């Protein structure tokens, strides 16, 4: 039976509790990147009128998925932000210690602050909450684009 809730509501209810419970900074980066990647797959599937499973079966790299899901030049800053997030994810996943990790995170935060529809409070002192809020904004940007393809 098809879920009748709006795509944004479905995603929010799926990811919000998961991201809210995470206290480890690196794990939070991994989970945000997974959520963004899932949202991009969902957006691409909707744009193509295909099932999500079809896009998963294509086994696209993150970079290719990003270019296909957000091909517009007006999404260039968002693309750069997501690539920075993916670099941070790769640095966590493939290296025990990596001094470039925080540089990639800072780049992601900075680019998202320039492109996000929902403004993020960058004055807050809690870096983990800032990352979480920015992650929500990133997911929201993709879902906002996906919503126009969602059919009742």
pLDDT of residue 86: 96
Return the pLDDT at 152: 40
What's the pLDDT score for residue 76?
93
In this predicted structure, the answer to whether residue 1 has a pLDDT above a threshold of 60 is no
Per-residue pLDDT, averaged over 123-145, amounts to 85
Residue 3: the pLDDT is 62
What is the number of residues in the chain? 152
pLDDT given for residue 27 in this prediction: 92
Which whole number is the average pLDDT over 34-58?
86
| Separation CA 82–CA 97 (nearest Å) | 21
pTM, two decimals, is 0.85
Percent composition of the chain: helix, strand, coil (DSSP 3-state, to 5):
75, 0, 25
Tell me: pLDDT of 44 over 60.
Answer: yes
**pLDDT tens profile 20-36:** 899 888 999 999 999 99
What pLDDT is recorded for position 111?
Answer: 92
Q: What is the pLDDT of residues 51-110, one digit of tens each?
A: 877 887 888 999 999 999 999 888 999 999 999 999 999 998 888 888 899 999 999 999
- Which of 51, 42, 28, 93 is CA-nearest to residue 70? 42
Q: Does the pLDDT at position 151 exceed 60? A: no
Q: What's the mean pLDDT in 109-134?
A: 83
């Amino acid at each position: 039976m098809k879920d009748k809730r709006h795509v944004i509501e479905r995603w929010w209810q799926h990811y919000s509790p998961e991201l809210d419970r995470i206290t480890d900074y690196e794990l939070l980066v991994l989970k945000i990147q997974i959520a963004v990647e899932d949202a991009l797959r969902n957006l691409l599937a909707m744009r193509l009128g295909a099932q999500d499973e079809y896009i998963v079966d294509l086994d696209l790299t993150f970079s290719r998925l990003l270019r296909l899901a957000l091909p517009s030049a007006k999404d260039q800053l968002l693309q750069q932000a997501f690539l920075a997030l993916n670099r941070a994810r790769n640095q966590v996943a493939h290296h025990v210690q990596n001094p470039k990790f925080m540089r990639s995170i800072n780049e992601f935060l900075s680019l998202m602050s320039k492109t996000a529809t929902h403004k993020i409070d960058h004055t807050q002192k809690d870096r983990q909450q800032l990352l979480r809020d920015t992650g929500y904004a990133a997911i929201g940007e993709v879902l906002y684009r996906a919503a126009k393809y969602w059919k009742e």
